[in-house]
Amino acid sequence: MSALEKNAAALDAFISGSVIADHRDLEPYIKPEEAAKIRSAADYVSEIIQRMESGQKLVGLSTPWRSLYGKVLFKPHELSVWTGYKGHAKTMVLSQCMCNGMSLGQKALVISPEFRPPTIIERKLRQCSTSENQSLKFVRQWAEWARGRLWFYDHQGSVNAKYVLAAIRYAQDKFGITQVVVDSLMKMGIATSADGYDKQKWFVDLLQSIAHDTGVHIHLVAHARKANSDSEMPGIHDVKGTSEICDMAENVYVVWTNKRKLDEIEGGNFKHADEPDVILKVEAQRNVEWRGSVALWMHRPSFQFVDHPNNAPQIYLSDDFVEF
């Protein structure tokens, strides 16, 4: 039993109020009212005025890394696909992005049928504190800080895709969610073989529609196909399933871990120790011209990634946290 589970009482209030349970009636959110989609052009002008007044061409959540400032934004009304080989840190990188967003006032919903909420919370505690071990005081403070910032759809194992879609609409309507993580496509009860291509297209198309309709930014994790070797970074056409998954998304990010370096260090060989641990590649971005890659190094005590080996991880919450 983990330390977090031993001290579960400190998080009971947070989890009980931050979980969308399977038994909740999501039926009204499966089919939204089409009439609500008919709006005047004037309804959208305030968004344009806001951009003009702020001097920004685009609005959205920035990444935690200075090397990507002004280059990557998780913008409202968009769908992003995160791909890479299984076990190559996609979930860890995306989790850090959500910690950063929560610190900036974003509200996140995590739909991860592979992991129970306490397991995900353990990772976020480590990333927010920058420490492998946290005090009970910190855990309690984190629970208060995360209340109103983080929710979970509590389901383990394959899930009916239509209820995932309904849960996103429900969470946005009830809690004002701004960022949604769906991890991963293979857990949505849809085959990733040719037999399931039409259903994959249907699901991703509806994810994009929900993002457009509600203003949330949806992050969809989709694994890359197994390769003969994971020494080379996969590309946009290596996503497991139909090629239209990436075609329908506004943004596509590839995460690749330098397994050779990690294996060598584990064996006592430090020849490539200065090489980055992870490469984050921006394969596609609509409305933004920049494409490219950034090198990231893992700060192991915190499970955070930094964009220079000498950079310190960011403390998102300290033991001295007080919220008024």
Per-residue confidence band for 10, with pLDDT thresholds at 50, 70 and 90: low
The residue with greater pLDDT, 53 or 124, is 124
Per-residue confidence band for 6, with pLDDT thresholds at 50, 70 and 90: low
What pLDDT was estimated at residue 128?
96
CA distance 61 to 56: 13
The residue with greater pLDDT, 32 or 202, is 202
Whether 8 has a pLDDT exceeding 90, the answer reads: no
Q: CA 314 → CA 102, 235, 266, 307, 309, distances in Å? A: 13, 30, 26, 12, 14
pLDDT tens track for 134-187? 999 999 999 999 999 999 999 988 888 899 999 999 999 999 999 999 999 999
**Three-state SS at 16:** helix
The residue with greater pLDDT, 228 or 259, is 259
Q: Which of 31-35, 61-65, 161-165 ranks highest by mean pLDDT? A: 61-65
Residues near 173 by Cβ (< 8 Å), separated by ≥ 6?
Answer: 29, 214
What pLDDT was estimated at residue 45?
85
Q: Find out whether 262 and 233 touch, Cβ atoms under 8 Å.
A: no
As given in the structure block, the two tokens for residue 287 are 């409305």
Q: Find out whether 127 and 152 touch, Cβ atoms under 8 Å.
A: no
What pLDDT was estimated at residue 289?
85
The residue with greater pLDDT, 310 or 322, is 310
Whether 85 has a pLDDT exceeding 70, the answer reads: yes
**Phi then psi for 297, rounded to 5 degrees?**
-115, 140
Average pLDDT, the chain: 88
Give residue 36's Cα distance to chain centre: 28
What pLDDT was estimated at residue 3?
54
Whether 13 has a pLDDT exceeding 80, the answer reads: no
Mean pLDDT over residues 250-265, rounded? 93
DSSP assignments along 255-315, one per residue: EEE-HHHHHHHHTT--TTTTS-SEEEEEEEETT----EEEEEEEETTTTEEESSTTPPPP-
What pLDDT was estimated at residue 172?
96
pLDDT tens track for 208-224? 999 999 999 999 999 99
* Residue 74 bridge partners (DSSP): 61
CATH number of 3-24+58-306: 3.40.50.300
What pLDDT was estimated at residue 15?
61
Share of the chain above pLDDT 90, in %: 62
Whether 22 has a pLDDT exceeding 90, the answer reads: no
H or E stretch including 62?
Answer: strand 61-62
Whether 324 has a pLDDT exceeding 60, the answer reads: no
What pLDDT was estimated at residue 37?
65
Whether 95 has a pLDDT exceeding 80, the answer reads: yes
Domain boundaries, the chain: 3-24+58-306
DSSP 180: E
What pLDDT was estimated at residue 195?
73
Give residue 303's Cα distance to chain centre: 15
Q: Where are the alpha helices (DSSP H) in the chain?
A: 3-6, 12-17, 45-54, 90-103, 117-129, 136-146, 161-175, 197-214, 244-248, 259-266
Whether 30 has a pLDDT exceeding 60, the answer reads: yes
Q: Find out whether 248 and 267 touch, Cβ atoms under 8 Å.
A: no
What pLDDT was estimated at residue 40?
81
Closest CA to 163 of 301, 4, 28: 28
